[in-house]
Amino acid sequence: MDNYFNYFTEIERHFQSRRESFTLLSTLDWVLIETWKDQGVPLELVLKGVDRAFSKARRPVGSLAYCAGAVAEVIEEQKELRTEAPEPPGFGTDEVRDYVGRLASTVRALEDRWPEFAARIASIADGIAATDASDLRAGENALNAIEDKLTSIIEIAADESVLIEVRNEVERGMAPVRSRMTVEQLAMLERQLWKRKLMERYGVPRLSLFYLF
C-alpha cells in the first residue's frame, strides 16, 4: 500500500471522480479515512467499496461517509486481504526532529492553561521531544501512545461545557454513518472524531508523523 499521504489522496481523488463534481471532504470523511488507515484496510478495498456505493445509490452522493457501509461490506468479504497500516511518509532526520520539537512545544504551552496538570503535561512534552523517529513506524506508535495520555488529561481538565459541546458535535458528525457501519467500526471512528475535535478545540495538533507533509 502507498504511504499515508497517497492513501488519503487516492481515496479523495477516486471519490471526486465518481461524483463527477468537486466537493470538499468533511471532517468526518477525513476521520473515516484515518480509521480505515488505522485498521490496515488496503486502498483497493476502499476504492471498491466507493464504487459499490455509487453503483447502488439512488440519489446524488454528497459525502464519503455515504460509502462507509459499502466499504464495510467489502472489508467483511475480503478479510484475508487486511494488511498493516501504511508506512508514514519518508522525511529527513532533521525535518522529523524539528517537527517533533514543534509538537512538544505546542503541548508544553498547555501548562499555562491548566497549571494544576503542569507536571503531567511537562512529562508528556518531554516524552514527545524524546521520541526516536529514526524508525518511522516505531516513532508513530510512540506518539500515538503519548497522544492517548494527553487526551486523557484534556478530558479531565476541560470545562464540562466544552466537553458537552464537543460530544454534541461528534454525535451530529456520526449521524450519517450510524446505520452503515458495525459496532466495532463505529466505536473506533467515534473515538477518532472525538480526539480530533477535542484537540482542535484547544489548538493541539494530532501527535502523528503522518501530518508532516
pTM for this model (two decimals): 0.71
For the range 87-90, what are the long-range contacts, defined as Cβ-Cβ under 8 Å and sequence gap of 24 or more?
Answer: 87/3, 87/4, 87/136, 87/137, 88/3, 88/4, 88/136, 88/137, 88/139, 88/140, 88/208, 88/209, 88/210, 88/212, 89/3, 89/4, 89/5, 89/209, 89/210, 89/212, 89/213, 90/3, 90/136
Q: What distance in Å separates the CA atoms of residue 77 and residue 191, rounded to the nearest whole number?
A: 25
From the number of C-beta atoms within 10 Å of its C-beta (0-12, 13-18, 19+), residue 121 rates as buried
201 with 125: CB under 8 angstroms?
Answer: no
The pLDDT value recorded for residue 153 is 96
pLDDT band at 1 (very low <50, low <70, confident <90, very high): very low
Confidence of residue 4 (pLDDT cuts 50, 70, 90): low
Confidence of residue 93 (pLDDT cuts 50, 70, 90): confident
Q: Are 207 and 94 in contact (CB under 8 A)?
A: no
Reduced to 3 states (helix: H, G, I; strand: E, B; else coil), residue 23 is coil
**pLDDT at position 3:** 54
What single string gives the DSSP state of each residue in 156-213? HHS-HHHHHHHHHHHHHHHGGGTTTS-HHHHHHHHHHHHHHHHHHHTTPPP--GGG--
Could you tell me the pLDDT band of residue 106, with boundaries at 50, 70 and 90? very high
pLDDT in tens, 32-65: 988 888 778 888 999 999 999 999 888 888 889 8
> What's the whole-number average pLDDT of the chain?
86
Other beta carbons within 10 angstroms of residue 157's beta carbon come to 16
pLDDT average, residue stretch 136-147:
87
